[in-house]
Structure 1
Amino acid sequence: MDKANRKLSSWHGRNLSHAGRLVLVKSVLSSQMVHTLIVVNVPREVREEFDRLRKRFLWAGHENLTGGKCKVNWPTVARPLDLGGLGVLDIDRFARALRLRWLWQQWEMPNAPWADMEIPCNDTDKLMFAAATRIIIEDGATTSFWHCAWAKGQRPKDIAPDIYAASSKRKWSLRDALTEQAWVRLVDLQQIRTAEHLKQFVELWVITQSVSLVQNTVDRIIWKFNASGVYSVASAYRAQFVGHSSFNLKALIWKPWGPSKCKIFVWLVIRNRVWTSDRLAKRGWPRDPVCPLCRHQPETALHLIADCRYSRRI
């Protein structure tokens, strides 16, 4: 935060257009936290404060940010260009994408000095990693029996949470757990007292019976969101936007040549975030309801840009 504030103190945001501020936000401010995000799970309060700092500079420069100056909400701004945003990094999603590298490196470098140390990944990170990867079981030595998503794309601890809680050894590899069904002997069967517990036990038993290990062949992991099957921060970041509606704004606005400030203005027009008469009316502000160009139709962003006969003639 101190590094970012030092940058802002040397910039004259009031003298920059929105396009100029956007460049500084994307290329300078958003990079201040990258190194920290790789190694530390930064508290949510710090990430929110950093977002407020970026948001204030983008929309208001050095002035105080008010609702009128914040033209578009920040979650929309922090989307990729083809999803209707401005391409500013979403710190929460980007931080998770960086942290997932630790889980990938645990597979790639199991003998690294830090492999047995605590890594800065929470359970949400591990759930996303399990959903974004596919494990090909060979000898089972690398795959964790409880914590890896080898069971039809799910983790056994999620399939049978009560059985996981009753197990006395939770760090076994798949090979150790399946050798003579050792995982069964380590489950305290006295804790299986309900039908739900028994259902979980049987379901996990059936899954383990279908696994065949291949000796002298190392397990493999594939990243689903990359054609090469190898993890990358860019693909992990993009995967967190699955389900968002895509737009053709990248080809319509951002790819063609033109001044950046004009592109920002067109983006605001498409989102109906310019102060035309129809929007002023919603706030009860003084206005002229008629289009100042044709003097016939009500003034709206769509009318001014596309429907007004004067604009169409130009």
Structure 2
Amino acid sequence: MGWALQMRWIWFEKTNPNRPWAGLEIPVHPNTTALFAISVVTIVGNGENTLFWTDRWLQGTRLEDLAPSVFQAIPARGGALSLRGLVEYLELWDALTDFQLNNSVDQHHWKFETSGTFSSQSAYRAFFIGSIQFEPWKYLWKSWAPNKCKIFVWLAIRNRCWTADWLQKRGLPYPVRCPLCDQEDETAQHILTSCVFARQFWLGILQPMDLSSLVPTRQAKSFAEWWRKSWRKVPKQNRKGFNSLVILGAWTLWKHRNSCIFDGSAPSVQVALQAFKDYSHSWIACGAKGLAALGLGRASY
């Protein structure tokens, strides 16, 4: 956000050079300058407010990019042109032959807004283009659940829980096999999704609601991906409750896993299901209306 706000200074300096501070050294981060350089396209009028080499005014790009060898040999840098530089020079000459200035002012267009006018909001979004996003954030943070449970699920999806793989990377003692199924290596994704114990647990939760088709398969490797696909198959009126159910189920599995490791308890699907039911009653009593709509509060569940 700070970089996006800093970029506003550069925009004003570019589009309104009469400001008192224009031309002074502006304290901005290099990332701000770099993004601004690729985000503004100029339509040249009289050329008074356009940088010949570094502004994007010819064919939507910079001369620095069109003819890099020529740019490296301009007087401030010196040096003779190579064969490639001569070719670039001739191509640049052809491109500029028919170009003429006029009496209008130069126009600078911010390409991330249809209006062409800069906004800090669009600059902020532009910094995240191509980034890897945490897809289930809406399902997670906007669902009814205690904050500690949401934070756990967020960490689990990002593989930041202290499971065997995480401990091994840090040279710490770790369980050789999953403490719930004793069949495969332990990871957060395995515990919540593909583990035999986890799949039996999810079946025990989803089957009474006629949602057994949503039980994760053995091939399911990503808890977030399973959640996303399952959420789409749930009727719209029940999706909020389903999100709370998934968070509660993941939290119950994690608590049961910890009980097996730290308290010496034996893995038991029935014990885990009973804990899930007890938790669900508490959540509903505290205001989890979505869970109540799924029927989890019924005594017969």
Name the TM-score class by shorter chain: 0.5 to 0.7
Count of aligned pairs: 199
Instruction: Mark the CA change 1:109 to 1:290 in structure 2 (over 3 Å): closer, same or farther.
Output: closer
- Choose from 290, 301, 310 the match for 2:188: 301
- Choose from 194, 201, 216 the match for 1:310: 201
Aligned residue runs from structure 1 range 145-164, under 5 A: 145-160=52-67, 163-164=70-71
Match of residue 26 from structure 1:
none
Match of residue 265 from structure 1:
152
Give me the identity figure in percent: 37
Shift of 1:111: 0.7
Point out which structure has higher relative CO (alpha carbons under 8 A, 6+ apart): 1
- Choose from 108, 118, 130 the match for 1:243: 130
Q: In 2, distance between residues paired with 1:227 and 1:144?
A: 24
Name the SS of the counterpart of 2:150 in structure 1: helix
Match of residue 136 from structure 1:
43
Match of residue 24 from structure 1:
none
Report the aligned-residue RMSD: 3.5
Unmatched runs of 5 consecutive residues or more in structure 2: 205-272, 274-301
Q: In 1, distance between residues paired with 2:92 and 2:38?
A: 19
Match of residue 206 from structure 1:
94
Instruction: Mark the CA change 1:123 to 1:157 in structure 2 (over 3 Å): closer, same or farther.
Output: farther
- Choose from 255, 259, 266 the match for 2:142: 255
Match of residue 217 from structure 2:
none
Do the aligned residues in 2 keep the contact of 1:291 with 1:304 (CA within 8 Å)?
Answer: no
Aligned residue runs from structure 1 range 1-314, under 5 A: 94-121=1-28, 125-160=32-67, 163-164=70-71, 192=80, 194-215=82-103, 217-277=104-164, 279-280=166-167, 283=171, 285=173, 287=175, 289-292=177-180, 298=184, 300-306=187-193, 307-310=198-201, 312-313=203-204, 314=273
Do the aligned residues in 2 keep the contact of 1:134 with 1:153 (CA within 8 Å)?
Answer: yes
Name the SS of the counterpart of 2:108 in structure 1: strand
Name the SS of the counterpart of 1:135 in structure 2: strand
Instruction: Mark the CA change 1:263 to 1:159 in structure 2 (over 3 Å): closer, same or farther.
Output: same
Q: In 2, distance between residues paired with 1:196 and 1:284?
A: 56
Match of residue 249 from structure 2:
none
Letter of the structure 1 residue corresponding to residue 38 of structure 2: A
Do the aligned residues in 2 keep the contact of 1:99 with 1:121 (CA within 8 Å)?
Answer: yes
Q: Deviations over 1:9-31 (max 9, x none)?
A: xxxxxxxxxxxxxxxxxxxxxxx
Shift of 1:165: 6.1
Shift of 1:280: 4.4
Q: In 2, distance between residues paired with 1:192 and 1:279?
A: 56
Letter of the structure 1 residue corresponding to residue 36 of structure 2: F
Shift of 1:221: 1.4
Q: In 2, distance between residues paired with 1:249 and 1:272?
A: 14
Shift of 1:143: 1.7
Q: In 2, distance between residues paired with 1:207 and 1:127?
A: 26
Letter of the structure 2 residue corresponding to residue 159 of structure 1: L
Name the SS of the counterpart of 2:148 in structure 1: helix
Q: In 2, distance between residues paired with 1:165 and 1:281?
A: 50
Q: In 2, distance between residues paired with 1:110 and 1:204?
A: 29
Q: In 2, distance between residues paired with 1:123 and 1:275?
A: 37
Greater Cα offset, 270-279 or 258-267: 270-279
Q: In 1, distance between residues paired with 2:203 and 2:10?
A: 56
Q: In 1, distance between residues paired with 2:83 and 2:176?
A: 71
What's the TM-score once normalised by structure 1's chain length? 0.51
Do the aligned residues in 1 keep the contact of 2:55 with 2:61 (CA within 8 Å)?
Answer: yes
Q: In 1, distance between residues paired with 2:89 and 2:71?
A: 10
What's the TM-score once normalised by structure 2's chain length? 0.53
Q: In 2, distance between residues paired with 1:304 and 1:122?
A: 43
Q: In 2, distance between residues paired with 1:203 and 1:121?
A: 35
Letter of the structure 1 residue corresponding to residue 57 of structure 2: W
Do the aligned residues in 1 keep the contact of 2:41 with 2:55 (CA within 8 Å)?
Answer: no
Instruction: Mark the CA change 1:198 to 1:311 in structure 2 (over 3 Å): closer, same or farther.
Output: closer
